[in-house]
C-alpha cells in the first residue's frame, strides 16, 4: 500500500491505496469527489481534468502516489453551496454545456488558463480547451463562456483592488 497525504480543495486528506491506483480513482473512491469523470482512461478526453499545483492535469494518467504532498483542486472545490465560481456561472449563463459529462474537466481547464492568463485570446482559449472532448456542443459557447468569465474575473479583481486601496 502507498500512503498519500495531499491538500484537496484546501483540506489536508490522507489515504492508503495500492501503488497502481490513479489519482482519479483515489479522488472518486477514497474521497467521494466524483466531479472528475473516467472517460477514455488514456488521457485523450479531458473528462478527468483537475488542477495540481496550478496546472491542469489528466488525473487518469497520474498515480495517486505522485500527488503526495501536493495541492489538488477539483470541480467540487470551485464553488460554495450558495455561490458558483464565475467560470461556472458564465458556462451556465451562456448555455455552454448540454449533458455535463465533460463540463467539470472543461471548467477546470478554463480555470487553469484564466489563473495563468487573465485575458486570453480566442486562440489561447481553444488551445487550453483542446484536451477536452465534448460530443454535445460545437465548443463555440464554451469559448464564449471563457471569454465572459475572463471579463467578470478581471472586473472582480479591479473591484477588490479598489476596495483595498480606497
The neighbouring-strand residues paired with 39 are none
pLDDT for residue 137: 84
How many Cα atoms are found within 13 Å in the side-chain-facing hemisphere of 145? 26
Adjacency order of strands within the sheet including 71-73:
11-17, 2-8, 71-73, 49-52, 55-58
pLDDT, mean of residues 101-112? 97
pLDDT for residue 109: 98
Q: Name the residue among 74, 38, 35, 44 with its Cα closest to residue 56.
A: 74
pLDDT for residue 166: 60
Name 121's Cβ contacts closer than 8 Å, sequence gap at least 6: none
pLDDT, mean of residues 150-163? 79
pLDDT for residue 1: 95
CATH 1.10.150.120 in the chain is located at 86-160
CATH 3.10.20.30 in the chain is located at 2-77
Residue owning grid cell 500527488: 67
Predicted model pTM: 0.93
| Superfamily per CATH, domain 86-160 | [2Fe-2S]-binding domain (1.10.150.120)
123 class by beta-carbon count within 10 Å (0-12 exposed, 13-18 middle, 19+ buried): exposed
Q: Supply the DSSP symbol for 54.
A: T
Strand duo 2-8 + 11-17: pairing = antiparallel
pLDDT, mean of residues 134-158? 91
> Which CATH number fits the domain 2-77, given the four candidates 3.40.50.720, 1.20.120.1200, 3.10.20.30, 3.40.190.10?
3.10.20.30
The span from the CA of 95 to the CA of 73, in Å, is 24
Let me know: does 75 contact 63? Beta carbons within 8 Å: no
Q: Name the residue among 156, 127, 123, 129 with its Cα closest to residue 142.
A: 129
Higher pLDDT, 12 or 155: 12
pLDDT, mean of residues 10-15? 98
Indicate the pLDDT class of residue 155, thresholds 50, 70 and 90: confident
Higher pLDDT, 131 or 138: 131
Amino acid at each position: 500500500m502507498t500512503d498519500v497525504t495531499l491538500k484537496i480543495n484546501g483540506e489536508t486528506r490522507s489515504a492508503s491505496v495500492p501503488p497502481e491506483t490513479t489519482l482519479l480513482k483515489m479522488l472518486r473512491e477514497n474521497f467521494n469527489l466524483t466531479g472528475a469523470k473516467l472517460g477514455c482512461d488514456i488521457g485523450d478526453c479531458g473528462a478527468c481534468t483537475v488542477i495540481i499545483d496550478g496546472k491542469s492535469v489528466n488525473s487518469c494518467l497520474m498515480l495517486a502516489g505522485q500527488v503526495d504532498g501536493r495541492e489538488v483542486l477539483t470541480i467540487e472545490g470551485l464553488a460554495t453551496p450558495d455561490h458558483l465560481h464565475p467560470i461556472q456561472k458564465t458556462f451556465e449563463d451562456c448555455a455552454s454545456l448540454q449533458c455535463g459529462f465533460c463540463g467539470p474537466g472543461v471548467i477546470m481547464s478554463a480555470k487553469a488558463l484564466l489563473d495563468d492568463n487573465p485575458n486570453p485570446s480566442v486562440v489561447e482559449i481553444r488551445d487550453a480547451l483542446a484536451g477536452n472532448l465534448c460530443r454535445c456542443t460545437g465548443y463555440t459557447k464554451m469559448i464564449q463562456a471563457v471569454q465572459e468569465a475572463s471579463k467578470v474575473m478581471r472586473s472582480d479583481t479591479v473591484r477588490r483592488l479598489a476596495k483595498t486601496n480606497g
